Every structure is written in structure tokens, then in C-alpha cells.
Amino acid sequence: MVGVLVVAFICNLLIRPVSEKYAEDMTEHRAEIERDRQASMAAEQGAAASASGLRLVLSWAFVSALLAYGVVMTAITAAKLFTG
């Protein structure tokens, strides 16, 4: 494992910046991102935002329930190991 970390460190040191001639002009891309952001903000107004919020809450509830189940099962297993 240490060998892999050493090789990764050496490879990281060998990486050089890309020449400017290969870089893409980002001005058009930034304008497109801004247009998309404004369009998505306009689309989120109204009922779609509340439906999305409900889905977000339900998703986090599901993830939290699974996490709680995992923590409880781990605690039960650990209790068996330490109490005999």
C-alpha cells in the first residue's frame, strides 16, 4: 500500500500544466451557463419547486433510515462482541 502511495506521489510531481494553446476560450461557455442558470431559476418557480422539495425530503428520510439501521445493527453486533 505504501508503494502505491509513493508511485502516486511521484506521478503527481510529474504532472505539468497544459499549454495555453490547448486551452478552450471559456467566454461563450460562461454565457451559456448563465443562460441555463436563469432558465432553471425561472422553471423552479411555482409548483415544480414544492414537488422537488418533497422529493428531497423523502430522499433524505430514506437515506437517514438506512443509516440509522446500519448504526443500530453495528451497535448490536459490537455489544455481542464485548458482552460475550
Question: pLDDT, tens digit, for every residue of 13-71?
Answer: 999 888 888 888 888 888 899 988 888 877 766 555 566 788 899 999 999 999 999 99
Integer Cα distance of 22 and 16 in angstroms = 13
Report pLDDT for 48: 56
- pLDDT of 63 reads 97
pLDDT of res. 46: 55
pLDDT for residue 49: 57
Q: Are 44 and 52 in contact (CB under 8 A)?
A: yes
Question: pTM for the complete prediction?
Answer: 0.42
Q: Note the pLDDT of residue 2.
A: 93
Q: 69 to each of 46, 62, 75, how far by Cα in Å?
A: 36, 11, 10
Cα angle 44, 38, 51 (rounded to 5 degrees) comes to 10
